[in-house]
Homo-oligomer: A and B are copies of this chain.
Amino acid sequence: MSLHRIMADHKVTFTVEDTADPIVASIPTGTLLSDAARQAGVEVGQPCGGQGRCGRCAVQITAGNVRRRSTLRLSQKAVDNGFALACQSVVEGDASIFVPAQEKIARTLTTDRIAAEVSVPADYDFATSQTFKRISLTMSPPSMDDQTDDWSRIQTALRTQADINDIKISLNGLRNIGTMLRECNWEVTVIIETDPNGGPARLVKVLPCHVNKTDPLWGVAIDIGTTTVSLWMVDLITGKVKAQVAEYNGQIARGEDVISRIIFASKNNNENEMRELVLETIDQLLIKACKRLNARPAEVVKATISGNSTMMHLLLGIPAASIRLSPFITAVNNLPLMEASEIGLHIHPEATVDCLPGVASYVGADITAGVLSSGLDETEDMTLFIDVGTNGEIVMGNRDLQITCACSAGPAFEGAGVVDGMRATNGAIEEVWIDGETYEPTYRVIGNSNPKGICGSGLISLLSEAFLTGILDKAGNVNLTLPTPRVREGAHGAEYVVAWGTETDSGQDIVLSRVDIDNLLRAKAAIYAGFTVLADQVGIPLETVAKVQVGGSFGKYINVEKAVQIGLLPDVEWDQFEFLGNTSIKGAYQALLDWRKRKQIADIASRMTYIELSADNTFYEAFTSALFLPHTDASKFPSVQAALQKTP
């Protein structure tokens, strides 16, 4: 009798806060409580991917047998009260579990209603820019005298009526043509995709009868961000973006950052779950966009996809473990064209899926697409391009050269790793001003409610104000001698109170502690050190760059002046900054429209020089120098020096 056979099942009862009936599941000995919850259909968030680090999956054992492997993130009091980390606890007998209500992400994403209109490239011309063609064919029906098979008949029609001499078709296509031709009485419209490199064209779809030349032909540009997935639905005939939708990436519950996701995916069979989660998100977006346009997802014949290398691997079910482990290698940077049915995307099954190329594990297609849409690779001016999202990727260059690196900034500016940090949703303090005499703060809260915490832009603004008013010194130490109760010794070292409990949602004080400050300094130092290394490689002083382009939603919300004041951005003139929004999806959109732009992204990816910072000798020194406000070398930040002199 094998071990497998003698393993007993246990009755595990889950009671979820704010729901009516408990859920009972039969769970084998040795199952992780987080897996058991999943099997029972109970949602327990795992922002760290099940590493036992974040503490967000804490549940309460109200009865029975559960073995805790780690309680790292739980206080002794919580453990005494029966709390356990679901990802670190193993079912060993019948048990009853109380699951606290899970944090819901408020939906405040870019959609048509708030998005800027996208202008179609001036030179867009369906006939010459696009790889797709829509061709109406009229064929004579087969007869006893003309016994040509259906596929040869289509090939002949394409040759004689559209000068297409070499065309291929998938098995799925072959399954459909016969019925279609007969139902439509040998008059059909075919959608084909040509190969700009001279390879055979491909039959993508057969449409019944003739269509109007002005009827839309749908394509989608997709950006898979670690946090947000965006989709633009585009009429390939006119090139117009007809709908913009976005949604949080469904993988978030299995890890907030790429590292946590890789860890989760690398566990048994989870690769598939990760794949399905993001596919579900894309499905939702497709449905939403199609509904708005009165279209069907099956009418979409091409998807151009951008995203960082981890997102691309997880989307395609390609193991991503090697991305996380030194020496940090992707399985593939240049993906072949695929068909939608291969990857499980629910558009037309034979639709083309074009996954844009990346450069390295931490410089993905989002950056190559971003560089294309920013125009960096076409300008004479030396330009610094930064995309601060969950990671910080940087490119320095111009039309002659492009050098790139990735900074493991960590998600501090997304509110993680900061005690009172949070995402930029309702209740987040998004900007702070501090009076230089009284040290009293004023703040603005998203949604105008009572504050719940501080988001990234709020943290930058708070750090800057605290520094300029002398609450913090250059090294980030809190000056406890100031005459205000807002500076004090707290549980995590010295701290500054931003909001008293009487003002807040939870009744607890919202503070910025020494530990938080260190996390924020490390994050900004990592990014700034990245700038320094790239500038050294190019051989110019960082301050002499002609332009600083900021991509991602980060640039949309932060106060640049304050970001310069804490040393997160280089101290250049205001008019040298450009804020470009989601450069990744903009690049995907351009590549979707124009095969020459797609080729340009491939060129960018193949020419870009990647610097692995963890292997770079100058990085550590640059990082250490940047761990100060704004920097060890104050002369690099003349505007900050001027501001400090103005402050009393």
Interface of A with B (CB < 8 Å)? 142-152, 168-171, 174-175, 177-179, 182, 199, 316-319, 321-322, 326-336, 338, 342-343, 360-361, 610, 612, 614-615
A147-B612, A149-B332, A332-B149 given as contacts; is B319 within 8 A of A179 (CB)?
Answer: yes
A150-B330, A150-B332 given as contacts; is B144 within 8 A of A178 (CB)?
Answer: no
A334, B152: Cβ atoms under 8 Å? yes
Can you name 17 A-B pairs with beta carbons within 8 Å? A147-B328, A147-B360, A147-B361, A147-B610, A149-B334, A150-B331, A152-B334, A169-B336, A171-B317, A171-B343, A174-B318, A175-B316, A177-B331, A178-B321, A178-B322, A179-B319, A199-B199
B145, A332: Cβ atoms under 8 Å? no
Q: Which residues of chain B are near A614, meaning CB under 8 Å?
A: 144
A327, B144: Cβ atoms under 8 Å? yes
A326, B144: Cβ atoms under 8 Å? yes
Can you list the 4 inter-chain pairs with the closest CB atoms, starting with the nearest? A144-B615, A178-B331, A151-B332, A149-B330
B615, A145: Cβ atoms under 8 Å? yes
Chain B: CB-nearest residue to A171: B342
A612, B144: Cβ atoms under 8 Å? yes
A142, B329: Cβ atoms under 8 Å? yes
| Chain B proximity of A166: nearest CB distance (Å) | 11
A326 CA to B145 CA in the complex, in Å? 11
A316, B178: Cβ atoms under 8 Å? no
Q: Which residues of chain B are near A149, meaning CB under 8 Å?
A: 329-334, 360
Chain B: CB-nearest residue to A168: B336
Please name 9 further chain A to chain B contacts, defined as beta carbons within 8 Å, in addition to the given A149-B332, A171-B318, sorted by A numbering.
A142-B327, A145-B615, A146-B327, A147-B327, A148-B329, A171-B317, A171-B336, A175-B318, A178-B319
B332, A174: Cβ atoms under 8 Å? yes
Q: Which residues of chain B are near A336, meaning CB under 8 Å?
A: 168-171
Chain B: CB-nearest residue to A333: B149
A142 CA to B614 CA in the complex, in Å? 15
A610 CA to B316 CA in the complex, in Å? 46
A153 CA to B493 CA in the complex, in Å? 49
A147 CA to B171 CA in the complex, in Å? 37
Chain B: CB-nearest residue to A141: B327
A331 CA to B152 CA in the complex, in Å? 9
A318 CA to B181 CA in the complex, in Å? 14
| Chain B proximity of A143: nearest CB distance (Å) | 5
Chain B: CB-nearest residue to A179: B319
Q: Which residues of chain B are near A171, meaning CB under 8 Å?
A: 316-318, 336, 338, 342-343
Q: Which residues of chain B are near A151, meaning CB under 8 Å?
A: 331-334
A333, B152: Cβ atoms under 8 Å? yes
| Chain B proximity of A344: nearest CB distance (Å) | 10
| Chain B proximity of A406: nearest CB distance (Å) | 11
| Chain B proximity of A17: nearest CB distance (Å) | 38
